[in-house]
Chains A and B, each alone.
Chain A
Amino acid sequence: MHYFLKNIVFLATLVLSAATAYAEKPLLRISCDENDTNVKIMINGVYKGDCPIDISVDPGNVMLHAQQPVSAEMERVFIQKFFISDGVYRRIDVVLSAPQLTVAAYKARQAEADKKEQKAAQQELQAAQNGDMQAMLRISKRYQDGKGLSKDPAQAELWQKKYQEAHEATELKSLMQRAEAGNSAAMFDLAKRYENGNGVPQDTEKSQAWQQKAQAAETQKRLKEKQEAEARRRAKVEERLKSYSMTPNMDKLTKSQSGKSDPFDALSSTVASPMALVSDMLSSPSHSAERSKIADELTPHAAAWAEPDSLMAKVHTKRQLITAETK
């Protein structure tokens, strides 16, 4: 009802204005949702009253700012910028935002954050000055970005450099520790550093000493690896030594076979028996290939072992070389 009356008054004013041709200033009718109460209306930063409201404004750029306090720090706002000319009438429906920090609250909080950041920066600065390498990196970044500390490219570069120096010193220390502990790769690196004066004073004697130590350590390392590999292989062999046991009846069957005359004993040598075909049926090609390889290795073996001057011995040696090369 109140709203309705206001409209009546506004219309009457317009009629009166037109009739008298008296006022040419632009008019604004600012309305809000009927549920939004206590909405302050400011035009160009000047409070004009609560919404809804009809306002006569000066022509030109207008900044409309509607604000509804929610709490001490929160508010809902509506901002609109527009241009308005003489004699124009404009209606604006205010749609408030979701609650948000008031400018004052925002600033207060920002100030508080800045304070914290500055405090952290001071702590980090202290840590960096005490040699904390990660703190040095962070301080350099703070000076670069101006976060917690005033922006200062020179200081940023200075702390970057300090970090590099500290890092190198640490690396060198670690390298020396590893070298002293017997790490051959570290020894080689250290020898190189002494040779080139990289991070340490150039020192040929020290370089050579570390080089020799490194070589000795490397030999030791390889020997150890070899021994370990051999130990593993030996363990495997020992495991395989135990893996087969006598199958039932094997002894009995073997003896019964050996006692019987073999029909193919009556035949000669040179070729096999038809059983090769069953062997063929039961063996995989890879198994046959392995058997063939072993046969090729064992055939000249006895002659090579007992008669090292024989041609068969040469054949055996050649075969072994070929096998070693293919491995």
Chain B
Amino acid sequence: MPVLRTVRCLILLLVLPGWGTLPAVVSAATDPIPPVQASLCHHAASPLLLTKLNSAGITVPCLTDGVAALPSSTAELVTKLTATSEPELLPDTDFKKTTAIISVTSNHRQVFAEALAGFLTDPHFHCNRPVLDRYFRLRFQAPPANDICPPLIPFRVAQRYSLPQQLWINPARVSEVRILFGGKGQKMASKFGHLALHIVVCPEDSQDPQACDSNLFEHLVVGFMAHIDEFELSTFKALWGDYHAYLFAFRFMDIYQDYAINEFREIYSLPIHLSPEERTRVLRELSEIHWAFQGEYRFFSKNCASLLQQALWTLLPAFKTDKYVSKKFIRPDRLFNAFKRSGLTNGSALAPKQAAEKKGYYFSSTKPFYAKAFSVVHGAMAKPPFSNLDEYLLMTPPARRAAWADDKAYLNKLLNEPYLLEAQQLLEELALVRSERRFHAEGSRYLQRLDVIKRKQDILKQLDTEQAALFNDCILMPVSLFTRPVQRFPAIPSEATNHEEDNQRVLSCRTPERQKRVTELLKKLGTTARKPWERLINSSEIVEITLENVRLLKDIRPVVQASDNKGPQP
């Protein structure tokens, strides 16, 4: 466990189903994608590649319009390329480094042959395999592609309360790409912080830098994380690279809630110097990594920092030669410091902190904010039944409510002092965030105890036909969405992926009638895991009552505002 704790920041858990409505960054997954122009016949434009292909006895004729003619089958071309001994048609070190971050690597030679075949024959290769396309153009001295790629770039973004959503990002609306550092946490596990990329997405109707920076609800964070495909973390798997790493995408505000509110950590957002063209290219290439990459996640060698560094070396060659960041880093905090010193980023944006916080380059931990709220609330109560914030949060929600609702003098203060009311509201909101986290943890324990996958057959024997169908559709399928490997794609998808079908299947379970039956079924199954079930239901009730506390305090608010009594200010 101590080992785990030292690397805790590096491990993240992906949950496929279950997470909230994301404001459409650009458009829904079903929006039509404009057609793209066909790419040039690369080998014709590259005498070097043409020579090497000829010397290997491989012919891929070009048509008059500059489009490569398809060989009798792509497989045939791949076979020929795999079999060739021509050194210039074999993977080199750069290729190995490149593919290490953009594909599921196993056999470099095979991967190289397939990629080159794609480069030679796929008219959309430049757009849907941009990292590989850039590599081949550089290696074979082919001129830059002049075809027009689709204007929208897809990412599958995790949601807090609902299924992940496929969003299409318009690079023209991206004003900056930044390095995001989730600062050191109080616990050992988050001691070295976490690194990812922060995509600053502008509002639809404005390119004004301030408007873009404050459009936080549409900003995205993409970062390398481990996919834990079971209900509890295995230390050995984590150490030996048995968990897969992927480049996941999240809403910035979800990251902020988890870091700054849930874990009381600071967040830094360090702008990378990029031209508009570079931003578009980086965004497209990140999308390729997001959809295609699957690697090992090792706590001490291949973690969020090292994978991000490798990706930046591939995406932005200047990072490979910079004196500060060309050295390999394992610790996120040290790599972040190197990024700050590097001239490739705007390190001065982070200081002083007050100015950075005003501009959105720095986000404080909310710990002092809640501490202040606690102090205001505690000071206003005659006999507070708690002495510190932790004690307040450990009280049951009815007991917390009793503390502020049953004390008539205090309730009257709440009704008349907006500043105090807001402080009280903040404490309940923090309790809600914490109770949801607790609920998730109890749910994990319950599923672990139920061990649905292993006990599938036993469980099915206990159920009638209708219950079995419900079990399959509404429990087993969502669980399998979580436990199965993350689906990989050979290229950036040009349309909505079949994730949407999974989403639809899960959504079909969310009618009130089916949800009632699912609850009954879970309860029935819960008899074999009674304690975890009781705790799960209890934690669910705690969330619900805390939610009602939050609603109540929100509803009190207009009464206060109407009274025109502003109350004491800090």
Tell me whether A250 and B13 are in contact (CB under 8 A): no
Binary contact readout A245-284 vs B (1 if CB under 8 angstroms, 0 otherwise): 1110111011111100011111111111111111111111
Tell me whether A240 and B548 are in contact (CB under 8 A): yes
Tell me whether B481 and A267 are in contact (CB under 8 A): no
* Interface check B158, CB cutoff 8 A: yes
* Interface check A311, CB cutoff 8 A: yes
Q: What is the minimal beta-carbon distance from A273 to any residue of chain B, in angstroms?
A: 4
Tell me whether B433 and A298 are in contact (CB under 8 A): yes
Q: A237-B552, A307-B357 are in contact. Are A276 and B15 (CB under 8 A)?
A: yes
Q: A274-B482, A292-B160 are in contact. Are A309 and B257 (CB under 8 A)?
A: no
Tell me whether B359 and A311 are in contact (CB under 8 A): yes
- Choose the segment among B98-106, B460-468, B531-539 that binds chain A (4+ C-beta atoms closer than 8 Å): B531-539
Tell me whether B162 and A275 are in contact (CB under 8 A): no
A314 to chain B: which residues have CB within 8 Å?
214
- Choose the segment among B55-63, B128-136, B278-286, B555-563 that binds chain A (4+ C-beta atoms closer than 8 Å): B555-563
* Interface check A13, CB cutoff 8 A: no
* B163 nearest CB neighbor, chain A only: A280
Q: What is the minimal beta-carbon distance from A280 to any residue of chain B, in angstroms?
A: 4
Tell me whether B518 and A282 are in contact (CB under 8 A): yes
CA gap between A262 and B233 in the complex, in Å: 12
A265 to chain B: which residues have CB within 8 Å?
187, 189, 441
B257 to chain A: which residues have CB within 8 Å?
295, 299
Tell me whether B12 and A268 are in contact (CB under 8 A): yes
Q: For B447, give its contact among A275, A283, A292, A318 (CB under 8 Å).
A: A275
CA gap between A262 and B13 in the complex, in Å: 14
Tell me whether A246 and B398 are in contact (CB under 8 A): yes
Tell me whether A254 and B542 are in contact (CB under 8 A): yes
Tell me whether A270 and B548 are in contact (CB under 8 A): no
CA gap between A253 and B357 in the complex, in Å: 40
Tell me whether A309 and B190 are in contact (CB under 8 A): no
Q: A269-B263, A279-B443 are in contact. Are A237 and B559 (CB under 8 A)?
A: yes
* Interface check A319, CB cutoff 8 A: yes
Tell me whether B5 and A266 are in contact (CB under 8 A): yes
A270 to chain B: which residues have CB within 8 Å?
12, 182, 194, 223, 225, 250, 254-255, 258-259
CA gap between A301 and B556 in the complex, in Å: 17
Q: Which of B386-427 contact A (CB under 8 A)?
A: 394, 396-399, 401, 405, 411, 415, 422-423, 425-426
Q: For B14, give its contact among A271, A278, A302, A312 (CB under 8 Å).
A: A271
Q: What is the minimal beta-carbon distance from B223 to any residue of chain A, in angstroms?
A: 8
Tell me whether B161 and A237 are in contact (CB under 8 A): no
CA gap between A267 and B441 in the complex, in Å: 11
* Interface check B47, CB cutoff 8 A: no
Tell me whether B18 and A280 are in contact (CB under 8 A): yes
* Interface check A233, CB cutoff 8 A: yes
Tell me whether A267 and B228 are in contact (CB under 8 A): yes
Q: For B8, give its contact among A226, A267, A281 (CB under 8 Å).
A: A267
Q: For B162, give its contact among A226, A269, A292, A318 (CB under 8 Å).
A: A292
A319 to chain B: which residues have CB within 8 Å?
217
* Interface check A296, CB cutoff 8 A: yes
CA gap between A270 and B437 in the complex, in Å: 11
Tell me whether A257 and B442 are in contact (CB under 8 A): yes
Tell me whether B20 and A275 are in contact (CB under 8 A): no
A288 to chain B: which residues have CB within 8 Å?
20-21, 161-162
CA gap between A246 and B531 in the complex, in Å: 19
Tell me whether A283 and B161 are in contact (CB under 8 A): yes
Q: Which of A25-61 contact B (CB under 8 A)?
A: none
* Interface check A96, CB cutoff 8 A: no
Tell me whether A303 and B214 are in contact (CB under 8 A): no
Q: What is the minimal beta-carbon distance from B22 to any residue of chain A, in angstroms?
A: 9
CA gap between A258 and B535 in the complex, in Å: 11
* Interface check B446, CB cutoff 8 A: yes
CA gap between A288 and B547 in the complex, in Å: 12
CA gap between A300 and B422 in the complex, in Å: 13
Binary contact readout A230-248 vs B (1 if CB under 8 angstroms, 0 otherwise): 1001101100111011110
Tell me whether B506 and A301 are in contact (CB under 8 A): no
Q: A255-B394, A269-B190, A275-B444 are in contact. Are A295 and B369 (CB under 8 A)?
A: no
Tell me whether A275 and B440 are in contact (CB under 8 A): yes
* Interface check A9, CB cutoff 8 A: no
CA gap between A237 and B548 in the complex, in Å: 11
* A223 nearest CB neighbor, chain B only: B562
Tell me whether A310 and B555 are in contact (CB under 8 A): no
Tell me whether B357 and A311 are in contact (CB under 8 A): yes
* Interface check B262, CB cutoff 8 A: yes
Tell me whether B233 and A275 are in contact (CB under 8 A): no
* A259 nearest CB neighbor, chain B only: B394
Tell me whether B556 and A237 are in contact (CB under 8 A): yes
Q: What is the minimal beta-carbon distance from B387 to any residue of chain A, in angstroms?
A: 16
* Interface check B439, CB cutoff 8 A: yes
CA gap between A274 and B442 in the complex, in Å: 10
- Choose the segment among B73-81, B87-95, B472-480, B487-495 that binds chain A (4+ C-beta atoms closer than 8 Å): B472-480
Tell me whether A299 and B439 are in contact (CB under 8 A): no
* A310 nearest CB neighbor, chain B only: B357
Q: A278-B446, A294-B432, A301-B429 are in contact. Are A253 and B12 (CB under 8 A)?
A: no
Tell me whether A302 and B232 are in contact (CB under 8 A): no
A106 to chain B: which residues have CB within 8 Å?
none
Q: Which of B159-193 contact A (CB under 8 A)?
A: 159-163, 182, 185, 187, 189-190
Tell me whether B558 and A233 are in contact (CB under 8 A): yes
CA gap between A310 and B357 in the complex, in Å: 5
Q: What is the minimal beta-carbon distance from B237 to any residue of chain A, in angstroms?
A: 13
A302 to chain B: which residues have CB within 8 Å?
261, 366, 369-370, 373, 426, 429-430
Tell me whether B547 and A264 are in contact (CB under 8 A): no
* A314 nearest CB neighbor, chain B only: B214
Tell me whether B440 and A273 are in contact (CB under 8 A): yes
B507 to chain A: which residues have CB within 8 Å?
285
Tell me whether A273 and B444 are in contact (CB under 8 A): yes
Q: Which of B126-148 contact A (CB under 8 A)?
A: none
Tell me whether A311 and B562 are in contact (CB under 8 A): no
* Interface check A3, CB cutoff 8 A: no
B260 to chain A: which residues have CB within 8 Å?
303
With A249-B538, A250-B396, A269-B190 known, 15 other A-B pairs at CB within 8 A are: A250-B538, A250-B541, A254-B542, A257-B438, A262-B441, A266-B5, A267-B11, A280-B163, A281-B478, A282-B522, A288-B20, A289-B161, A291-B161, A299-B261, A315-B216
What are 22 A-B pairs with beta-carbon distances under 8 A?
A240-B555, A244-B401, A245-B398, A247-B398, A249-B538, A250-B542, A270-B194, A271-B225, A272-B13, A272-B18, A272-B19, A273-B443, A274-B482, A276-B17, A279-B439, A280-B163, A289-B161, A292-B161, A295-B20, A301-B422, A307-B364, A311-B357
The list of the 10 closest CB pairs from A to B, nearest first, reads A275-B443, A276-B18, A292-B20, A306-B369, A275-B440, A311-B360, A280-B18, A273-B440, A269-B258, A298-B429
Residues of A within 8 A of B (CB): 226, 230, 233-234, 236-237, 240-242, 244-247, 249-251, 253-258, 262-285, 288-289, 291-292, 294-296, 298-303, 305-307, 309-312, 314-315, 318-319
Residues of B within 8 A of A (CB): 1, 4-5, 8-21, 158-163, 182, 185, 187, 189-190, 194, 213-214, 216-217, 223, 225, 228, 231-233, 248, 250, 253-263, 265, 354, 357-360, 363-364, 366, 368-370, 372-373, 394, 396-399, 401, 405, 411, 415, 422-423, 425-426, 429-430, 432-433, 436-448, 474-475, 478-479, 481-482, 506-507, 509-510, 512, 515, 518-519, 522, 534-536, 538-542, 545, 547-548, 550-552, 555-556, 558-559, 562
